[in-house]
């Protein structure tokens, strides 16, 4: 049994095995791997994450039971919730506000706990999905230049974790004062310079009150400075006109909605690997 909380708990060999499982799932293997198993999902306010996890578990023969995250906000302790659910649950998927709460649940759980995102700093399955998809067209994906543009949010923090765990070349391009503090990544404040050096450019939607200022990714910026073959991969939900312009989404740089199609498959592969 193994939890999937942070990419820093995994290594390149783990990722290769997860990717192999994903290949096998796409090839039609492991169809009943979760037969007789029950996964409890604590997920609120999600579209893609809930649909992909719930369908993915069902496709492997498992039974997903979905609760809102607020189900964990009762008077009883997290330890008590986990203790009772240990009687009937084979794995838990949770999308919570804090990583500390996720860790607390995992501490008392006798089954694997999977991080489906935390608001304060992690979205590990998203990063593995991106890397898996990129690996299908770029054999040199371990050596590419990845740049996250914007604030130090959960996407940026998870890419920083990936840099530390897998030795990836990751840059955080951002306004001064909001830099990611990880020693595993570099920081760039010049958006033009950052775009010019990047193979893959990631953004994340803005939180209320955040202003991206001069760090919006536009088609003009990409046309002027992006290297040949560079790709734009904004994390959904995408807010056109905020972190990225509408014409950038409509451009040749945008990897497209289908780039996300293996999000479900990677989540399936992670669950099987950790079980």
Q: What is the mean pLDDT of residues 240-254?
A: 97
Q: Are 39 and 64 in contact (CB under 8 A)?
A: yes
pLDDT at residue 11, as a whole number: 98
Higher-pLDDT residue of 204, 274: 274
Distance separating alpha carbons of residues 176 and 238, to the nearest angstrom: 23
In this structure, the number of other CB atoms found within 10 A of the CB of residue 140 comes to: 9
> What H or E segment, with its residue span, contains residue 51?
helix 48-59
Write out pLDDT tens, residues 27-65.
Answer: 999 999 999 999 999 998 889 999 999 999 999 999 999
pLDDT at residue 90, as a whole number: 98
Write out pLDDT tens, residues 198-236.
Answer: 999 999 988 878 888 899 999 999 999 999 999 999 999
Q: Are 81 and 72 in contact (CB under 8 A)?
A: yes
226 Cα distance to chain centroid: 24
Q: Is the dihedral of CA 50, 234, 179, 169 positive or negative?
A: positive
The answer to which of 45-49, 256-260, 271-275 has the lowest mean pLDDT is: 45-49
Start-to-end CA span in the chain (Å): 5
Distance separating alpha carbons of residues 124 and 7, to the nearest angstrom: 6
Residue 273 has pLDDT above 90, yes or no: yes
pLDDT at residue 45, as a whole number: 80
259 Cα distance to chain centroid: 13
Measured at the CA of 56, the angle between CA 131 and CA 117, to 5 degrees, comes to: 55
């Amino acid at each position: 049994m193994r939890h999937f909380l942070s990419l820093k708990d995994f290594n390149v060999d783990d990722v290769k095995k997860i990717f192999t499982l994903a290949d096998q799932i796409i090839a039609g293997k492991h169809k009943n791997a979760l037969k007789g198993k029950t996964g409890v999902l604590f997920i609120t306010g999600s579209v893609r994450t809930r649909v992909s996890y719930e369908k993915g578990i069902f496709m492997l023969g498992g039974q997903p039971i979905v609760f809102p995250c607020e189900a964990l906000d009762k008077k009883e302790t997290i330890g008590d919730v986990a203790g009772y659910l240990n009687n009937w649950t084979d794995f838990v998927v949770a999308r919570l506000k804090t990583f500390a709460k996720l860790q607390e649940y995992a501490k008392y759980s006798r089954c694997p706990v999977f991080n489906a995102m935390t608001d304060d700093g992690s979205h590990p399955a998203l990063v593995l999905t991106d890397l898996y998809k990129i690996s299908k067209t770029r054999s040199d994906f371990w050596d590419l230049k990845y740049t996250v543009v914007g604030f130090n949010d959960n996407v940026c923090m998870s890419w920083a974790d990936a840099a530390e765990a897998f030795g990836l070349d990751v840059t955080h391009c951002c306004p001064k004062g909001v830099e990611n503090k990880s020693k595993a990544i570099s920081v760039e404040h010049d958006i033009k310079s950052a775009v010019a050096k990047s193979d893959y450019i990631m953004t994340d939607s803005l939180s209320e009150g955040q202003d991206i200022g001069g760090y919006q990714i536009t088609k003009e910026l990409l046309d002027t400075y992006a290297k040949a073959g560079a790709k734009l991969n904004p994390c959904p939900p995408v807010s056109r006109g905020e972190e990225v312009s509408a014409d950038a989404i409509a451009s040749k740089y945008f990897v497209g909605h289908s780039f996300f199609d293996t999000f479900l498959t990677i989540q399936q592969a992670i669950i099987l690997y950790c079980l």
